[in-house]
């Protein structure tokens, strides 16, 4: 049965002028997860990512480290939501509270929950459109994989939370909880079977243990 490895991008540049750039640590994380995926012996892996710079660069570094030769495909449905827009829309705009990553995580939890509960926002900027796009991208990918082929998708924490929440039929609070704990460059594995696509593992980051513990980050 085909396996789909969903990889969260490496650490972005929190607090920098351009958040959508891998940090030095993020580049190390991307290489480390590539080594790990190369070790797993995936079968002719189809490689795809979103169109954000941090996703593309993670995918390229990952592929180089793993030895994947398949051309990289891109699909904007794997992109992350705009976290800054959510913070502006649903939380206190005080910039001082956004200087610390831990404080931002609390604000983001509130904003994400408010977004999911915002039934008046039904257009392309609504939660339903975001989650539905990710679900459709996964369904399309699942149907294109043959029995002897796997896939690697480089995406983001919000997409992972939305997909796993849907697969497990979680309430909104569960989706927020998953989003909060996603590790940079961790691997979530799905299996495509006769009864559909199922979750095997979530947020696997064993490649950041032991002497590589320093590579473990959440933001």
pLDDT interval class at 29 (50, 70, 90):
very high
Domain that holds residue 18: 3-80+124-215
- Domain assignment present for residue 106? The answer is no
In this structure, the number of other CB atoms found within 10 A of the CB of residue 69 comes to 9
- Domain assignment present for residue 16? The answer is yes
- Domain assignment present for residue 159? The answer is yes
Cα separations (Å) of 136 from 27, 43, 80, 217? 29, 23, 15, 29
Domain with residue 138: its CATH number is 3.40.50.1240
For the entire predicted model, the pTM comes to 0.93
Q: Give the strand order in the sheet containing 3-8.
A: 73-74, 46-49, 151-155, 3-8, 187-193, 196-204
- Domain assignment present for residue 25? The answer is yes
Instruction: Give the pLDDT score at 97.
Output: 56
- Domain assignment present for residue 100? The answer is no
- Domain assignment present for residue 117? The answer is no
Mean pLDDT of all residues in 25-29: 97
- Domain assignment present for residue 119? The answer is no
Instruction: Give the pLDDT score at 96.
Output: 56
In this structure, the number of other CB atoms found within 10 A of the CB of residue 211 comes to 6
- Domain assignment present for residue 115? The answer is no
pLDDT interval class at 98 (50, 70, 90):
low
Please count the structural domains in the chain: 1
pLDDT at 151 exceeding the cut of 80:
yes
Instruction: Give the pLDDT score at 212.
Output: 94
Give tens-digit pLDDT for 182-192: 999 999 999 99
Minimum mean pLDDT range among 71-75, 102-106, 157-161, 194-198: 102-106
């Amino acid at each position: 049965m085909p396996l789909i490895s969903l990889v969260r991008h490496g650490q972005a540049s929190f607090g920098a002028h351009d958040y959508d750039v891998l940090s030095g640590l993020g580049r190390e994380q991307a290489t480390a997860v590539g080594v790990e995926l190369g070790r797993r012996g995936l079968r002719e892996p189809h490689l795809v990512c979103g169109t954000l710079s941090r996703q593309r660069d993670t995918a390229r570094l990952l592929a180089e480290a793993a030895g994947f030769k398949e051309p990289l495909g891109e699909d904007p449905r794997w992109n992350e939501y705009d976290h800054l827009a959510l913070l502006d829309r649903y939380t206190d705009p005080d910039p001082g509270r956004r200087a610390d990553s831990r404080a931002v995580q609390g604000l983001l939890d509130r904003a994400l929950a408010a977004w999911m509960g915002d039934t008046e926002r039904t257009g392309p900027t609504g939660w339903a459109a975001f989650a539905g796009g990710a679900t459709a991208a996964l369904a399309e990918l699942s149907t294109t994989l043959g029995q002897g082929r796997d896939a690697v998708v480089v995406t983001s924490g919000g997409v992972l939370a939305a997909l796993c929440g849907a697969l497990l039929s979680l309430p909104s609070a569960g989706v927020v909880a998953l989003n909060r704990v996603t590790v940079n460059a961790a691997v979530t594995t799905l299996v495509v079977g006769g009864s559909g696509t199922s979750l095997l593992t979530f947020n696997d980051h064993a490649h950041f243990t032991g002497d590589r513990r320093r590579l473990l980050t959440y933001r």
